[in-house]
Chains A and B, each alone.
Chain A
Amino acid sequence: MSGISDTERMITLKTVEGTLFDVKSSIAKDLKTVQAFIDDSDDDVTSPIPLPNVFTRELSRILDYLNNHHRFRSGIEKADEEMARYDAEFAKSMSHEELKALILAANYLNVKDLLEFLNQTVADVIQNKSVEFVRNFFGIENDYTPEEEEKLRNENEWAFNGVEQD
């Protein structure tokens, strides 16, 4: 729409459940999948953009994160401490299931910085944990027999010393 400056333009997104979210175009830029859609449609986006793989809960969290980070970055003091505190709270506020769901959504929407943060968080969670814990976390079914697993552990023995026992 001509005449409206870039930062004021609002984009509407629609989640799986049909909920509509109005998003500033400056924030939408961080959702690369959405931005690509906008670019492809020659900037003529009047109707809500459907996101068939994204649920309301996830989109709401993602927008929350992006809004806050934009705020931190444009503040007076670079607010690194505040941002770190927000990130820590953000990560803690989710269960493991919610974390994984958010990763999938962020991956689909291609939100680079958030994805980096979320995956780093998961890495921190699984570091130094037992095999059972990690299997549980990712919902992995063990398709090795106990003998095969024992053999594998012996072959990669170097990777296992120092790890918490099951």
Chain B
Amino acid sequence: MDRISDLPDCILLHILSFLPTKTAFFTTVLSRRWTHLCHHLQHLEFNQIQFLNRNRIRSGFGSRERLFAIVNWILSRHRVPPIRTFRLTCCLDQFHEFTTVQGFIREVLGPNLQELDLQLSIFDFFDRKVVIPNGVFSCASLVTLRLSGDITFLSPSSPWCGYHLPSLKTLEMHDVAASIDDVAELLSHCTALETLILDLNCRVSEVGLRIHFPLSLKKLNFRSDFDPLRRTGIECRQQFPSICVSNLHNVEEATINVASRGFVLKFLVEFRWLRSLVLGNLVFTCLPQAPPDLIPEFTSLHRLELAVGCFDTRYIMNMLEKCPMLKVLVIVFITDFVNKDPHPSRRWEHPVKVPTCLASHLKVIKIKGYFESRDDREFFAYVLQHGLVLESLDIQVDRARAKELSLLPRSSKACQINFCRNQEKEEEEKEKEASSRARQQWRQQWQHLRTTRKNTIGTVTKNLNL
């Protein structure tokens, strides 16, 4: 069967671009043609973990040295064709290593760089950060920028910065040490931005908060824990004298996770054509107590996902009232929440009027990580009775409970109740989140090592002082 002719170079290169560069380079021995190919890779991806030795003694230091040597070698040989993607994940220790990384970044910056992805962790307790070279923020060809870890950038107001990112479509920042105001300034120079993911733990100036999002924005994921010392379940005490967020009317999908009620409401009010909304666990600490008339109506919303710490049926029903066209409702239980039963004032109360979406649009209800509470039976009985177009209710419960729930009367003949065993669900979720989990795991791993080291050093210092 000789129908299969050689796959052309462009396809082979495309395949190699999905592999971390270290893995791609092993193809250099396949044949002469392949040796040649690797040096034409335009997508480079390096992860320090791949450079760990089998015996892990002093592994951090050794693997970093090896990694840097290889990156240096590849970048120095790489003239044509130009680099389009550069991804680097590593952990840094000495100051000269910060400089090395900054050097790499400058090396790959150019009129052809389209994607830059940096995940840097610093292994110490001085709270040092790597400063991203300015050139990154004035790279006109950049389409995707992801920054995560112990990173910071110069404030836009300094005279050395000419922020200009006209091609940027995706911006992601996790844990980056930047004030919200600096981020806001940066955003004003990203005129084509479509996807924005911000996950920042930072302080906000007392004066207030002003973010004018790019009008082009379609997808927003905003998480900010302004008070990192806050204990779970307590609303953020920091009041923002003035909050202004604008230009959010083109956003179609949003995930909001902030612990300040005022802030959440400012966001919600600005969304006009929202089709999908996810409200995270931090929102659950503050929004349920808000008077319902402060929450706007979402006329285009098709999908709503709420994180809850307990079965706060009052919160859920209030939100349903606001979404007349809702098709999918997802309720996610946060498993590490302390109080499993809602405050008596948040208990189930028979609604005065059936929410519009329940009677005419709601087709799918999914409940994840569910654990039983006193109110659930009323809630399920209600939705099954009034959910006239309900097609499926997916929920994880044990067999006995499942039987009980399936016996409840339902108005929609087509309605199917799907019970999933916890194990299966967990596996499915694991597979789905594998890639984002890998990223998270990396961060957690190094965070843990950093904390351990901090604690060890702390103890040693303490002992010395005694």
Contact = CB atoms under 8 A, between A and B. Distances in A.
Interface of A: 55, 76-78, 80-81, 84, 97, 100-101, 103-104, 107, 115, 119-120, 122-124, 126-128, 131, 134-135, 138-144, 149, 152-153, 156, 158-163
Nearest to A125: B15
A139 B6 contact: yes
B23 A140 contact: no
B29 A153 contact: yes
Contact of B50 (A81, A153, A162): A162
B66 A158 contact: yes
Contacts of A143: 31-32
Contacts of B15: 119, 122-123, 126
A153 B27 CA distance: 10
A142 B31 contact: yes
B73 to A, nearest CB: 9
Contact of A101 (B3, B12, B23, B432): B3
Given A78-B303, A131-B26, A138-B6, 4 more contacts: A104-B7, A123-B18, A139-B6, A143-B31
B16 to A, nearest CB: 7
Interface SS majority for chain A:
helix
25 contacts: A76-B363, A76-B364, A77-B303, A80-B432, A81-B432, A97-B4, A104-B11, A119-B11, A119-B14, A119-B15, A119-B18, A126-B19, A131-B30, A138-B6, A138-B12, A138-B30, A140-B33, A142-B30, A143-B31, A143-B32, A152-B29, A158-B70, A159-B25, A161-B54, A163-B26
B83 to A, nearest CB: 18
A55 B1 CA distance: 14
Contacts of A160: 26
Interface residues of B, number: 42
Contact of B27 (A55, A81, A107, A134): A134
A-B pairs with the 4 shortest C-beta distances? A123-B18, A159-B25, A159-B26, A119-B15
A128 B23 contact: yes
A87 to B, nearest CB: 12
Contacts of B12: 138
B16 A123 contact: yes
B35 interface: yes
Given A77-B364, A101-B3, A123 B19 contact: yes
